[in-house]
Chains A and B, each alone.
Chain A
Amino acid sequence: MNGLKQHYAKIIVWAILLTIPYWFTYIGGYLGLANEIVIYALAAMALNFLLGFTGVLSFGHAAFFGLGAYGTALTIKFLVPSTLVGLAVGVLTATVAGMVIGALIIKRRGVYFAMATIAFGQLFFFIANRWNSVTGGDDGVGNWHRMPINLGFTTIPLFHNSLVYYYFTLLLFALAVGAMGLLLDGPFGRSLMAIRENERRARFLGINIELHVWISFVISTAICGLAGGMLALLDNFVNPRDLRFDLSGVLVVMAVMGGMRSFWGPLLGAAIFQWLREVLSSHTPNWQTYIGIVFVLVVLFFRRGILGFKLSTVKS
Chain B
Amino acid sequence: MSVNNGFKLPRRKLLQGGAVLAAAQIASPFVMTARAADTVKFGWDNPLTGVYAEPGKNELIGAQLAIAQINAKGGILGRQAELVVQDSTSGDAGVAVQVARKMIDQDKVNFLIGNVNSALAIGMAQVANEKSVLMMDPGGHSDTITGATCHWNVFRICNTTQTEANAIAPTLIKDYGKKWYYITPDYAFGHALEAGMIKACAALGGTRIGGDLTPLGTSDYSAYLIKAEAAKPDVLIFLTQGTDMINALKQAVQFGLDKKMHLAGAQQELEALEGLPPEARVGNWVMEWYYKQPNVPHVADFNKLIMAKSGKVPTARTWFGYAGIWSCALAANGAKSLDAVKMAKALQGMHLPPEIALCPDGAFFRAGQNQLIANLYVGKALHTGKDGPDDLFDVTDVVKGTAVAGTLAETGCKMTWPA
- The answer on A and B forming one complex is yes
List which B72-97 residues lie within 8 A (CB) of chain A: 85-87, 91-94, 97
Among B12, B27, B188, the one with the most A-chain Cβ atoms within 10 Å of its Cβ is: B188
A281 interface contact, C-beta 8 A? yes
- Cβ contact within 8 Å between B187 and A139: yes
Complex contact A132–B186 (CB within 8 A)? yes
Complex Cα distance, B118 from A239, in Å, reads 13
- Name the distance in Å between A57's Cβ and chain B's nearest Cβ: 25
- With contacts A36-B98, A281-B87 taken as known, whether A138 is within 8 angstroms of B216 at the C-beta atoms is yes
Do residues A28 and B119 form an inter-chain contact, with CB atoms below 8 A? Answer: no
By a CB distance below 8 angstroms, the chain A residues around B49 are 285, 288
**Interface residue? A194 (CB, 8 A):** no
Cβ-defined contact, A138 with B91, below 8 A: yes
Complex: A197 Cα to B12 Cα, angstroms: 31
Is A241 an interface residue when CB atoms closer than 8 A count as contact? yes
Question: What residue of chain B has the Cβ atom nearest to residue A240's Cβ?
Answer: B91
Q: CB distance A242 to B94 under 8 Å?
A: yes
A178 within 8 A of partner (CB): no
Contacts of A139 in B (CB 8 A): 93, 118-119, 122, 187-188
Known A28-B26, A31-B105, A287-B87; judge A236-B215 contact (CB<8 A): no
Q: How far is the CA of A242 from the CA of B94 in the complex (A)?
A: 8
How far, in whole Å, are A36 and B102 apart by their CA atoms in the complex?
A: 12
Q: Interface 1/0s, chain A 126-150, versus B by CB < 8 A?
A: 0001101000011110110000000
For the complex formed, measure the closest distance between the CB of B71 and the CB atoms of chain A, giving whole angstroms: 22
Check: B123 CB closer than 8 A to any chain A CB.
yes
Neighbouring A residues of B101 by C-beta, 8 Å: 32
Cβ contacts under 8 Å, B12 to chain A? 313
Complex Cα distance A105/B407, Å? 58
Could you tell me the distance in whole angstroms from the C-beta of B149 to the nearest C-beta in chain A?
7
> Which A residues are CB-close (under 8 A) to B411?
none
Please tell me if the beta carbons of B105 and A279 are within 8 angstroms of each other in the complex.
no
Docked pose: A36 CA to B98 CA in angstroms: 10
Nearest-neighbour CB distance to chain B for A252, whole angstroms, equals 19
The docked-state distance in angstroms from the alpha carbon of A217 to that of B80 is 56
A138 touches B87 (CB 8 A): no
B106 interface contact, C-beta 8 A: yes
Which residues of B have CB within 8 Å of A5?
none
Determine if B186 and A137 form an interchain contact, defined as CB atoms under 8 angstroms apart.
yes
Q: Chain B contacts of A278 at CB under 8 A? A: 102
Contact B98 A142 (CB under 8 A): no
Query: Does residue B255 face the partner (Cβ distance < 8 Å to A)?
Result: no
The contact of A33 among B102, B215, B216, by CB within 8 Å, is B102
CA distance A298 to B92 in the complex (A): 25
A212 to B97, CA, bound (A): 40
Residue pair A130, B48 in contact (C-beta under 8 Å)? no
Query: Shortest beta-carbon distance, A120 to chain B, in Å?
Result: 19
Residues of A within 8 A of B191 (CB): 132
Q: For the complex, is B174 an interface residue (Cβ under 8 Å from A)?
A: no
Q: Is the CB of A142 within 8 A of B126?
A: yes
CA A23 to CA B149, docked complex, whole Å:
37
* A30 lies within 8 A of chain B by Cβ: yes
Within 8 A of B (CB), among A1-56: 25, 27-28, 30-33, 36
Contact yes or no, B105 A138, CB < 8 A: no
Known: A32-B102, A139-B187, A285-B48. A239 touches B126 (CB 8 A): no
Residues from chain B with a CB closer than 8 A to the CB of A31 are 105
Given A30-B105, A287-B87; A237-B94 close (CB under 8 Å): yes
A residues 232-250 near B (Cβ < 8 Å) are 235-239, 241-242
A123 CB → nearest B CB, Å: 15
Tell which of B30, B97, B126, B186 touches A28, judged by Cβ atoms closer than 8 Å. B30
Interface residue from B48, B92, B149, B215 paired with A143 (Cβ < 8 Å): B149
User: Which residues of the other chain, B, contact A285 by a CB distance below 8 angstroms?
Assistant: 48-49, 53, 87
B11 at interface (Cβ–Cβ under 8 A)? yes
Measured CB to CB, the nearest residue on chain B to A140 is B93
B94 touches A239 (CB 8 A): yes
B256 proximal to A (CB < 8 A):
no
In the assembled complex, the Cα of A164 lies from the Cα of B101 at a distance in Å of: 16
Which residue of A has the minimal Cβ distance to B119? A139
- Inter-chain CA distance A241–B187, complex, in Å, is 14
Say yes or no: is B29 at the interface (Cβ < 8 Å to chain A).
yes
Residue of B nearest to A36 (CB): B98
Question: Given A30-B106, A140-B119, A237-B123, is A281 in contact with B216 using a C-beta cutoff of 8 Å?
Answer: no
A154 at interface by CB-CB < 8 Å: no
Which residues of A does B touch, CB under 8 Å? 25, 27-28, 30-33, 36, 129-130, 132, 137-140, 142-143, 231, 235-239, 241-242, 278-279, 281-283, 285, 287-288, 313
Known pairs A130-B215, A142-B93. 14 more at Cβ < 8 A? A28-B30, A30-B102, A30-B106, A31-B105, A32-B102, A32-B105, A129-B215, A132-B186, A139-B118, A139-B122, A139-B187, A140-B119, A241-B94, A282-B85
15 contacts between A and B (CB under 8 A): A27-B27, A31-B105, A32-B98, A33-B102, A137-B187, A138-B216, A139-B93, A142-B93, A142-B126, A239-B93, A241-B91, A278-B102, A282-B86, A283-B29, A285-B87
The 6 tightest CB contacts between A and B, nearest first, are A138-B187, A285-B48, A139-B119, A28-B30, A241-B92, A30-B106
